[in-house]
Amino acid sequence: MFDSGVGGLAVLAGLRSMVPREDIVYYADSAFFPYGSRSVAEIRGRCEAVTRELLGLGAKLIVVACNTATSAAIAHLRESFDVPFVGMEPALKPAAEQTISGKVALLVTPQTARGEKLAALVDRYGAEVTVETLPAADLAERVERGAIDDDGTRELVRRYLEPLRTSGADVLALGCTHYAFLRSMISEEAGAGVTVIEPSEAVARQVQRVLAGARLLKSAGAGSVRYLTSGDAQAFEDVRRRLRDAGADIPETEPIGAE
């Protein structure tokens, strides 16, 4: 699995319990973070390079644990490589099912907000509900530094969620894996009348389904977790510790231990 940085770690713990026998390599493309302000061509280039690296390590399925990368590159990856890819997209379907007011909001990176994939998704549910897209510049960057419980991040969240005060949206879908680490803060700032949802559990279930369907699930042994990054390995380890200290559920490296 890969993300531009630490965001996909929000998917990892759930995935680990869904497929406990599998060996999981988590690749953080930190040297190229953030994807959210890059062009589609740049993101595709990086996704291709990371995919090659993961395939070189023997990957049998790749989780694109990043909404921005999914939006910009998953169709291209599926055309170019012969393994199954599971991607992330904002949980608009459950949002449309849960809303009572008929208005839902989506918190996404600026690149996802501009993407055709989001436009198509909004079109698909747009007849049933009104969708308000909230692009959040710099928010993933704060999570990437491990700043998930500080005042500056809360101030930014408050600012991006300001439109919710008047729009009447009662469901907020998180459309960037980094934001999952801010779920409680986002919930508090969105207010009691807004339900916050994110898709990582659904993605973990989808991985299990795809592996089972292709008869690729391991049937014995304990799985492992290994972390790799295109950036600085020590910095990546430090931010994982910071996120854990702030309460995030992030597996330790086990048992092969290669960083």
Single out the catalytic residue among 6, 47, 54, 66: 66
Between 159 and 198, how does the x/- string for binding to ligand DGL read (CB under 6 A)?
A: -----------------xxx--------------------
Round to whole Å and give the CA distance between 82 and 61: 10
Among 1, 2, 4, 160, binds ligand DGL (CB under 6 A): 4
Among 2, 26, 27, 33, binds ligand DGL (CB under 6 A): 33
Between 35 and 74, how does the x/- string for binding to ligand DGL read (CB under 6 A)?
A: xx-----------------------------xxx------
Cα atoms in the Cβ-side hemisphere of radius 13 Å centred on 48:
10
Tell whether residue 230 is a contact of ligand DGL (CB under 6 A): no
Q: Kind of pairing, strands 2-3 and 24-28?
A: parallel
| 3/170 with CB nearer ligand DGL | 3
Cβ–Cβ under 8 Å, residues 62 and 83:
yes
What crossing angle do the helices spanning 67-80 and 40-56 adopt, rounded to 10°? 60
Asked about 47 being catalytic, the answer comes back as no
Cβ–Cβ under 8 Å, residues 3 and 30:
no
Round to whole Å and give the CA distance between 106 and 110: 12
| 2/225 with CB nearer ligand DGL | 2
| 175/251 with CB nearer ligand DGL | 175
- Interface with ligand DGL in residues 97-126 (CB under 6 A): 109, 112
| 7/14 with CB nearer ligand DGL | 7
The distance of Cα 99 from the centroid of its chain, to the nearest Å, equals: 22
Lookup: tokens for 95 = 């949002």
**CA-based torsion, 238, 7, 79, 110: positive or negative:** negative
Secondary structure of 50-79 as H, E, C letters: HHHHHHHCCCCCEEECCHHHHHHHHHHHHH
Closest residue to ligand DGL in the complex (CB):
36
Single out the catalytic residue among 54, 65, 91, 176: 176
Phi, psi (5° rounding) for residue 45? -60, -45
Size of interface with ligand DGL, in residues (CB under 6 A): 16
Taking the complex as a whole, the smallest distance from the CB of residue 91 to ligand DGL amounts, in Å, to 13
Among 14, 34, 115, 146, binds ligand DGL (CB under 6 A): 34
List active site positions: 66, 176
Binding site for ligand DGL (CB under 6 A): 3-4, 7, 33-36, 66-68, 109, 112, 140, 176-178
